Chain A
Amino acid sequence: MAAHGNVSRSPRPASCGQRLAEINRREGAARALRVLVDAGGCHGFQYRLELTDRSEEDDVVFERDGSRVVVDAMSLDMIRGSTIDFVDELIGSSFQVVGNPNAESACGCKTSFSIKI
């Protein structure tokens, strides 16, 4: 790591809102982060995160630091109470749904989870 002196990691990972604003500023767009829950993965349900400028009828919009996260009603039921964060780890940086109180267990890659019934 020492050889890459110009690679710096912020002491505290940037929050989801800051990172989203940064992406939009760089690309000159005003896109929102869509969080979807789909069936799939080894634990039954998986998160799908994508940048979008479309909104659907049943969307719920969350706004922070001038950035928006949109979630449809069906997905919201399964992630209610979670935090959307931008996680900066050695394995890679990504937006993640963390601390989902509706999830019972998750698979190794953290994209798939099972629901408490």
Chain B
Amino acid sequence: MTATRPAAAAAALLAHSRRAAAASARPQIALWRATGARWLSSEAHPDRPAVHLPLGDADVFARLDGRAVVRIDGPDSVPFLQGMVTNQMTLVERGGAGILAAFLNAQGRILFDAFIFPENKGSEFPHPSFLIDCDVMVAELLETHLKRYKLRRKIAISNASDSLAVWQAWGRSSDLLWGSYVSRDCARHVPIGGIVPKESFCDVGCRDPRNKQLGVRFVLDRAAVPKLPTTFERVGADEFTLRRMMLGIPEGAADFFYEHSLPLESNLEFMSGVDFRKGCYLGQELTIRTYHTGVTRKRIVPIQIFKADQALPTQLTLDRGVSFELPESQSDLKPVGAAEKSTRGRGTGAVGKFCSGMNNIGLALVRLEHVHSSSGSQQILGEDAPGAPPGDLVLSNGLHARAFAPAWWPQAPPA
């Protein structure tokens, strides 16, 4: 973690270059090896959100203010969390990059989706200390949940949201951020063959395990601004939400219905959030049984929302000019025309539930026979009437929606 300690000569050089940097009009100039970009000083980051296509590859970053951080600290942290989450704690036991996981209840329903980051620092490293990055709306519930199962475990549970903040950086060079050490600002002044002091841009985080296109997620002191290469531009957290939705990645309490959602229906295993080989954890029974039956009839997918009189969308396209009034999380989605057919007696006729949305796109949990493939309108999955194209859906407020399967989903080889 720590940079190589420079020799005395290099230290003098370092001090010299720092003085020089302070005097210069462009402080903190260093080489960003992969991109050739320069480091940006904190004051140069524009606070105004810039406009980017949500699936473009421009380098951007955002602070995710909708996230809270809960700290679990103490020698029993790993065995305690191992019995509570869907993913394998041995992956983070010895520090390093974080993982995605979910906390379930005894019935196997999701309580919280969360990132678990080892806190890779401190004088006693690797003293077990973990940061749990969760939706701010359910942070208190998470704390209560953890404290209920603490019993005699030697751990301390505390909310660290006042001192820490969660960030996300994505774009074409974001993949190079995590795990690579970059030269400090003096690098240009080191003689050939000299020792170059290096540092990582952040100690706590990971490459987003849910999808490559989501870049890097990391945790910093609340007062800090990420030291990223100058190619990175700051945007609002909504930009991340849009990108996430277009990829069909659920996150937080609006997408994971507390005590209702199931891990596999919520794509948790597609997002590297479940280890099917680990031993007992809270809620394992149903999860592993579902996995071995090999059948999931519903999944969370991106939807495009449109008015009934608009042309049918053929692929997911964001329209920033639109701001629909969207229904509440967990409200029903029905097939178009279901109102007339509701006498069939199969419950409410709902084939899905709305999760969250923005502009004209959103996420919804939808039965797979009502999902279009991302390339066209032919049916991709589901059991009823193979070959028949899936119809469109109606939200509880009357808006129409079409569900698309994300292109990154594992595909069956062509028959």
Chain A bound to chain B:
yes
Stretch at the interface among B147-155, B165-173, B405-413: B147-155
Q: Which of A38, A39, A112 has the most CB of B within 10 A?
A: A39
Also in contact, A39 and B284, with CB within 8 A (given A44-B106, A114-B106): no
Binary contact readout A84-96 vs B (1 if CB under 8 angstroms, 0 otherwise) = 0000000000000
Among A37, A42, A74, A105, point to the contact of B284 (Cβ < 8 A): A42
Q: What is the total of A-B residue contacts with beta carbons within 8 Å?
A: 41
Question: Are B285 and A44 interface neighbours, CB within 8 A?
Answer: no
* Chain B residue contacts of A61, Cβ below 8 A: none
* Chain B residue contacts of A37, Cβ below 8 A: 151
* Chain B residue contacts of A74, Cβ below 8 A: 151-152
Chain A positions within 8 Å of B, measured between CB atoms, are 37-45, 74, 104-105, 107-108, 112, 114
Question: Are B83 and A41 interface neighbours, CB within 8 A?
Answer: yes
B82, closest chain A residue (CB): A40
Measured CB to CB, the closest approach of chain A to B85, in angstroms, equals: 12
Also in contact, A105 and B106, with CB within 8 A (given A37-B151, A42-B283): yes
Chain B positions within 8 Å of A, measured between CB atoms, are 80, 83-84, 105-107, 149-153, 280-285
Measured CB to CB, the closest approach of chain B to A46, in angstroms, equals: 8
Measured CB to CB, the closest approach of chain A to B259, in angstroms, equals: 12
Question: Are A41 and B149 interface neighbours, CB within 8 A?
Answer: no
Interface CB pairs A-B, < 8 A, 13: A37-B151, A39-B149, A39-B150, A39-B153, A41-B280, A42-B280, A42-B283, A42-B284, A45-B149, A74-B151, A107-B285, A112-B280, A114-B105
* Chain A residue contacts of B84, Cβ below 8 A: 39
Question: Are A44 and B149 interface neighbours, CB within 8 A?
Answer: yes
Measured CB to CB, the closest approach of chain A to B247, in angstroms, equals: 31
Question: Are A42 and B151 interface neighbours, CB within 8 A?
Answer: no
* Chain A residue contacts of B107, Cβ below 8 A: 105
Given contacts A40-B280, A44-B149, A114-B106, 5 further A-B contacts (CB under 8 A): A42-B285, A104-B106, A105-B106, A107-B280, A112-B280
Question: Are A39 and B283 interface neighbours, CB within 8 A?
Answer: no
Docked pose: A74 CA to B151 CA in angstroms:
8
Docked pose: A37 CA to B153 CA in angstroms:
12
Question: Are A108 and B151 interface neighbours, CB within 8 A?
Answer: no
Docked pose: A107 CA to B280 CA in angstroms:
10
* Chain A residue contacts of B105, Cβ below 8 A: 44, 114
Question: Are B152 and A42 interface neighbours, CB within 8 A?
Answer: no
Docked pose: A105 CA to B106 CA in angstroms:
8
B282, closest chain A residue (CB): A44
A42, closest chain B residue (CB): B284
